C-alpha cells in the first residue's frame, strides 16, 4: 500500500527528484502495461527497458503502488483538453509526468472549454464515452482494484469537468456529486467487464459469443423448470443481444433526467406549502420534531453560518 502523503507529493509534482526523468519512467511503465498487462510492470523490468539500475528508479518512485498512481494520472491526461494540460503543472518540476497522449475526445473538449454545449445530458454522455474509451485503450486501469487511491491533477480535472456538466442540471450539490459518481461507477463496471472478456479471448482464442454459441448441451437443459428463461430463449431474446454499455448508459441518464424533471417540479409544491429554506444554502428545511421553526437544513450549514459571522466580526 502506498504512503498517502508520499503519493500526493509525487502526483502533484512536489518533492520529486531531478536526474532520471520521472516522466520517462511513467511513460515506459504505461507502454509496458498497454502491451503486456499490469502484472508485467515491475521496477526490474522498467530498469532493463530504460537502461538504468533498479535502485536508480527507486530514487524517483519509492514503490510500485506509487508508480501505479502516477501511471493512472498520466493516462488521465488524455481526457484533459489541451488548454488545461498546459496549465495543470505550471509550478511542477519538468520531470513530473505530463501527457502520455495528445488524443483528446473532441466532444469532451467542446463541452468543457467554452465550445457550444448540447445540453447537460449530451455532455455527460460524452464524458462517459470518453472515459470508457480511455479504459479500452489502457485496459490495465480496470486491474487497479477498489483500494482507496489518491487522485492526481488530471484525475481531479476530469472529475471537475463532469461536475461542471452535472451542476447545470440545477440539482442540489450532494445530488450533483452523486450523479457523477453514479455515471462514473457505471463506466468503471462496464470497463472491467470488457477488459475481462478481452483478456479471456486473448488467452483462449475464443470470443464470448463463440463460447456461448457452442454451449448447446447447456441449452438442452432448458425446460419447464425455467419457464421464463426458456420462453425468452425460444422467442429469440438471445439472438441479437443489446449492447450492455449502450443500454445501461441510456438507462442511467434516463434516471438522472427523471430526477432533474422531478426537481424542476419541486418549487411549485414548495410554494404551495410555503416551505422554509436554509439561510446558508437555500435548500428546503424540514420541520423539526417539536414543531419549532428551523433556520438551517443541517448542522454543517449552521456551522458555516457561525464561521461567517465570526469572520465578519473579526
Record the cell numbers describing residue 179, joined without a space.
Answer: 450523479
DSSP conformation letters of 188-220: HHHHHHHHHHHHHHHHHS--HHHHHHT-HHHHT
Q: What is the pLDDT of residue 43?
A: 93
Query: Block means of pLDDT (10 residues each) for the chain, length 314 residues?
Result: 69 57 92 94 93 90 91 91 43 37 43 60 96 94 80 93 95 95 95 90 88 87 90 90 94 96 68 65 71 77 82 74
Q: What is the pLDDT of residue 263?
A: 86
Tell me phi and psi for residue 284, to 5 degrees.
-60, 140
Q: What is the pLDDT of residue 97?
A: 37
> 120: Cβ–Cβ under 8 A, 6 or more apart, which residues?
165, 166, 168, 169, 260
Q: What is the pLDDT of residue 274?
A: 57
Q: What is the pLDDT of residue 81?
A: 60
Q: What is the pLDDT of residue 205?
A: 92
Exposure on the CB side of residue 55, measured as CA atoms within 13 A: 0
CA-wise closest residue to 16 among 70, 83, 77, 79:
70
- Across 124-163, b (16+ Cβ under 10 Å) vs e yields bbbbbbbbbbbbeebbbbbeeeeeebbbbbbbebbbebbe
Structural contact between residues 157 and 84, judged by C-beta atoms closer than 8 angstroms: yes
Q: What is the pLDDT of residue 290?
A: 60
In DSSP terms, 284 is beta-bridged to 277
Sole residue written with cell 434516471: 255
- Helix then strand then coil, in percent of the chain rounded to 5, is 65, 0, 35
Domains and CATH numbers, the chain: 4-198 (1.10.357.10), 278-314 (no CATH)
Q: What is the pLDDT of residue 215?
A: 87
Distance of CA 78 to the CA centre of its chain: 13
Record the cell numbers describing residue 279, joined without a space.
Answer: 439561510
Amino acid at each position: 500500500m502506498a504512503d498517502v502523503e508520499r503519493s500526493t507529493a509525487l502526483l502533484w509534482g512536489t518533492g520529486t527528484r531531478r536526474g532520471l526523468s520521472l516522466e520517462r519512467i511513467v511513460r515506459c511503465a504505461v507502454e509496458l502495461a498497454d502491451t503486456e498487462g499490469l502484472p508485467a510492470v515491475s521496477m526490474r523490468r522498467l530498469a532493463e527497458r530504460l537502461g538504468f539500475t533498479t535502485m536508480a528508479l527507486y530514487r524517483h518512485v519509492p514503490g510500485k503502488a506509487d508508480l501505479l498512481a502516477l501511471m493512472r494520472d498520466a493516462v488521465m491526461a488524455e481526457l484533459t483538453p489541451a488548454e488545461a494540460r498546459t496549465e495543470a503543472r505550471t509550478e511542477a518540476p519538468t520531470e513530473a509526468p505530463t501527457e502520455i497522449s495528445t488524443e483528446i475526445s473532441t466532444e469532451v473538449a467542446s463541452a468543457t472549454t467554452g465550445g457550444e454545449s448540447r445540453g447537460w445530458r449530451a455532455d455527460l454522455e460524452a464524458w462517459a464515452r470518453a472515459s470508457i474509451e480511455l479504459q479500452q485503450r489502457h485496459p490495465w486501469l480496470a486491474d487497479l482494484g477498489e483500494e482507496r487511491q489518491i487522485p492526481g491533477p488530471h484525475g481531479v480535472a476530469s472529475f471537475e469537468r463532469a461536475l461542471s456538466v452535472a451542476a447545470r442540471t440545477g440539482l442540489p450539490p450532494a445530488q450533483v456529486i452523486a450523479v457523477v459518481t453514479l455515471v462514473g461507477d457505471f463506466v468503471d463496471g462496464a470497463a472491467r467487464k470488457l477488459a475481462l472478456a478481452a483478456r479471456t479471448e486473448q488467452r483462449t482464442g475464443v470470443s464470448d459469443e463463440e463460447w456461448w454459441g457452442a454451449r448447446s448441451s447447456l441449452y438442452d437443459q432448458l425446460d419447464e423448470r425455467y419457464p421464463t428463461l426458456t420462453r425468452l430463449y425460444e422467442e429469440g431474446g438471445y439472438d441479437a443481444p443489446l449492447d450492455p454499455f449502450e443500454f445501461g448508459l441510456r438507462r442511467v441518464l434516463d434516471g438522472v433526467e427523471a430526477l432533474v424533471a422531478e426537481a424542476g417540479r419541486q418549487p411549485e409544491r414548495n410554494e404551495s406549502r410555503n416551505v422554509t429554506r436554509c439561510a446558508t444554502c437555500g435548500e428546503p428545511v424540514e420541520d423539526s420534531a417539536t414543531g419549532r421553526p428551523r433556520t438551517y437544513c443541517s448542522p454543517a450549514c449552521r456551522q458555516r453560518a457561525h464561521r461567517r459571522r465570526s469572520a465578519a466580526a473579526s
